[in-house]
A and B are shown apart, each in its own frame.
Chain A
Amino acid sequence: MYALIKREIQDHIAYFIGAAVFSVVFIIISFSLISRYDSRNPPVFLIGLGVPAATIVIFGICAMGATQMYLDRTRKISALLSTLAVSRNRILLARIITGILTILILLVPLTIAAGILVRIFTPPVPMFTGMVFEISITVYLMAFACYCIGLQTGWNSNPLTPSLGALFLTCIFIPLILIKGFGVHIVVILVLFIVASLLRTWHTFMKTSL
């Protein structure tokens, strides 16, 4: 298993480096901007910075999943690996673990930075800590959901279905977040989506010819 994960990391090292660099750059920019402004007005520019950053993150993570599967399909990597002492289950599991590692490399520093910023700029009320926790969980799950969409898109010769799935998810999400904010309902929807998406990816990967 370790060899499979190592292979995935080496093959997609650009995404790991990209995630780490993005994370560091985002933190540096956030802190440098905050230090210039009055501590009472930080959220305004953070939102301005956060929207393009989130877009990059979503596309980047989705692209990683898609690249992993697409390169496997075109270079027939699994066709070789599955003739060695490796099962298809393990190949897919190693791939997903690699995706999770990338998400963690990207988001863990950002979460820590967000926690520090909240401590600096908000009064010590549990509500704010809870809010950071809820938003973080949602962002982690959203990132993983995007990765799952990428996995499906990369493996399918017709990426229309996963793209429609992604569009459907976005259409549900944005109004939900705007109307009800972050919370358990979003988490439940995301978890259900991730489970369904992973099951579909697993089924397709196990059944198609390599």
Chain B
Amino acid sequence: MIEDEQMNDSVIVIEDLVKYFDGRCVLDGINLKVPRGCIYGLLGRNGSGKTTIIRILLGLEPPTRGRTFLLDADSTELSAELHGRIGYVAEGHNLIQNYRVGRLIKLCKDLSLQWNDEFFNHLIETFRLPTDRKVKELSIGMRAQLNLALAMAIDPELLIFDDPTLGLDTVARRQFLELAIDLIQQQGRTILFCSHILGDVERIADRIGILAAGKLVVDCPLEELKERVKKLRIIFPESAPPNLYLTEIINQQNQAREMVITVANWNKQKQTALEIFKPSSCIEIPMSLEDMFIECTKPNPEYIES
């Protein structure tokens, strides 16, 4: 019953999503649920399929197999009204390049269900965006800011950011994050956030997904990820054994008596299994999100789902 309620309260649902491009598998059976009010950080290396997931979710790209739902509606049948409740900042900032900024703003305003003029004008002033210039004459950072302001102005229920801080300088990035945090404080708003800048994700996301080799290898709350993924330096009295027979080893490196392993879901059972090999010492190496990301995106990581 509780599970059903949680399912119904998921703003984003992805079921067994598979996508092939020219015979190459980009997404291989992705399953994901993002609950209402969650700030979900989707991470992955270049070409791992983050943008493809977002494009499929928004109905811009057809899936090869599987289904995706946004705000309880199938992505392939999203109505105009539903699109009006979703703010989207695209990677590379998909804006009509030959339009003047003012004209693009007017077009977006005319095509929106609701438009928060006060907030939008505040953003335009904060970002100092010139409305009389053509979009193609703006810098990448300014385009990102314009795209962000347009996405925010519609007062969206769901915000999808595909690498929104790409091309922004440090000050603009900080402004963006502060703005995102402001939005987060407004109840019921859900954010799907893809970024290469892990510090940004770590700062605002409360749940993390990591894509590697077409699979979602991590899907859990950020704090839980930090608790569950452990990097251990183990010293053995003699040479390190080639295999510890532990499950969910993300990465393992052996060098003479020393073994460095990154393991998911570290628990007492695994601790006991390790002690069978009678190690001389076992020290935990602290890991940042970046370290975890690097470990998880190495070839053949196992799932770390909650």
Contact = CB atoms under 8 A, between A and B. Distances in A.
Interface in A76-134: 76-77, 79-87, 90
Contacts of B60: 79, 82-83, 209-210
Nearest to B83: A85
Contacts of A75: 96-98
A97 to B, nearest CB: 16
Interface size class of B (residues with CB under 8 A): 20 to 34
Contacts of A210: 60-61
Contacts of A166: none
B56 to A, nearest CB: 9
Contacts of B88: 83
B120 to A, nearest CB: 14
Nearest to A210: B60
A interface, over-half SS: helix
Contacts of B59: 82
A7 interface: yes
B84, B88, B96, most chain A CB atoms within 10 A? B96
Contact of B111 (A79, A81, A207, A209): A81
A83 B90 contact: yes
B107 A3 contact: yes
A87 B112 contact: no
A207 to B, nearest CB: 7
A24 interface: no
A80 B95 contact: yes
Interface in B58-104: 58-62, 78-81, 83-84, 86, 88, 90, 94-98
Given A3-B111, A80-B96, A207 B83 contact: no
B55 interface: yes
Interface of B: 55, 58-62, 78-81, 83-84, 86, 88, 90, 94-98, 107-108, 110-113, 154
Interface of A: 3-4, 6-7, 75-77, 79-87, 90, 207, 209-210
26 contacts: A7-B107, A75-B96, A77-B96, A79-B90, A79-B94, A82-B83, A83-B58, A83-B60, A83-B86, A83-B88, A83-B90, A84-B83, A84-B108, A84-B111, A84-B112, A84-B154, A85-B83, A85-B113, A85-B154, A86-B83, A207-B62, A209-B60, A209-B61, A209-B62, A210-B60, A210-B61
